[in-house]
A and B are shown apart, each in its own frame.
Chain A
Amino acid sequence: MATWIQAKKTMDLKQQMEMARRDFPILGQLIHGKPLVYLDNAATTQKPFAVIRADTAYYETQNANVHRGVHSLSEVATSLYEDARKTVAEFLNAQSSSEIVFTRSTTESINLVANVMGRSQIGANDEIILTELEHHSNIVPWQLLCERTGARLKIIPILESGDLNLEAAATLFGPHTRMLAMTHVSNALGTVNDLAPLISLAHEHGAAVLIDGAQAVPHMGVDVQALDCDFYVFSGHKIYGPTGIGVLYGKRAWLDRLPPWQGGGDMITSVSFQHTTYADPPHKFEAGTPPIAQAIGLAEAIRYVTGIGYPSIQAYEANLELYALRRLLEIPGIQLIGQPLKRASIISFVMNGIHPHDIGTVLDQYGIAVRAGHHCAMPLMEHYRVPATVRASFAFYNTYEEVDSLALALDKTWSLFHP
Chain B
Amino acid sequence: MSDLLALYQDIILDHNRSPRNFRKLAHTSHEARGFNPLCGDKMTLYLDVQGVNIEDVGFEGSGCAISTASASLMTERLKGLTLEEASRLFDEVHRFLTQPPDTPVSPGSQLGKLEALGGVRQYPARVKCATLPWHTLDAALHNRLEPVTTEAEPHANL
Contact = CB atoms under 8 A, between A and B. Distances in A.
A374 B40 contact: yes
B126 A361 contact: yes
Given A388-B40, A416-B8, A357 B13 contact: no
Interface in B92-131: 123, 125-126, 129
A362 B8 CA distance: 9
A147 B4 CA distance: 47
Nearest to B16: A417
A387 B68 CA distance: 14
Contacts of B8: 358, 362, 416-417
A387 B13 contact: no
A50 interface: no
A361 B119 CA distance: 12
B63 A355 contact: yes
A419 B13 contact: yes
Interface string A377-407: 0000100000110000000000000000000
Interface string B1-44: 10110011000010011000000000000000000001111000
B101 to A, nearest CB: 15
A144 interface: no
B17 A353 contact: yes
Nearest to B4: A365
Contacts of A387: 39-41, 62
A76 interface: no
Interface in A1-17: none
A355 B64 contact: yes
Interface in B36-75: 38-41, 62-66
Contacts of B1: 365
A222 interface: no
B66 A358 contact: yes
Given A361-B123, A365-B1, A417-B13, A355 B65 contact: yes
Contacts of B65: 354-355, 358, 417
Contact of A357 (B3, B4, B16, B126): B126
B40 A361 contact: no
A374 B17 CA distance: 23
Contact of A361 (B7, B13, B62, B63): B7
A357 B62 contact: no
A74 to B, nearest CB: 41
Given A365-B3, A373-B39, A387-B40, A357 B17 contact: no
Interface residues of A, number: 18
B64 A357 contact: yes
Nearest to A354: B65
B42 to A, nearest CB: 8
A32 B1 CA distance: 9
Interface magnitude class on chain B: 20 to 34
A358 B40 contact: no
B141 to A, nearest CB: 27
A32 B38 CA distance: 25
A373 B38 contact: yes
B13 A416 contact: yes
A389 to B, nearest CB: 11
B64 A358 contact: yes
B129 A357 contact: yes
Contacts of B126: 357, 361
A198 to B, nearest CB: 31
A387 to B, nearest CB: 3
A358 B65 CA distance: 7
Nearest to A386: B40
A365 B63 CA distance: 21
Contacts of A356: 64
A261 to B, nearest CB: 29
B97 to A, nearest CB: 16
A355 B68 CA distance: 10
A183 B126 CA distance: 32
Contacts of A374: 38, 40
Interface in A193-235: none
A125 B62 CA distance: 39
B13 to A, nearest CB: 6
Contacts of B63: 355
A293 B73 CA distance: 52
Nearest to A387: B40
A46 to B, nearest CB: 21
Nearest to A376: B38
A356 B63 CA distance: 10
Nearest to B65: A358
Interface in A344-382: 353-358, 361-362, 365, 373-374, 381
Given A362-B8, A381-B40, 4 more contacts: A365-B1, A373-B38, A387-B41, A417-B16
23 contacts: A353-B17, A354-B65, A355-B65, A357-B66, A358-B65, A358-B66, A361-B4, A361-B123, A361-B125, A362-B4, A362-B8, A365-B1, A365-B3, A365-B4, A387-B39, A387-B40, A388-B39, A388-B40, A416-B4, A416-B8, A416-B13, A417-B8, A417-B16
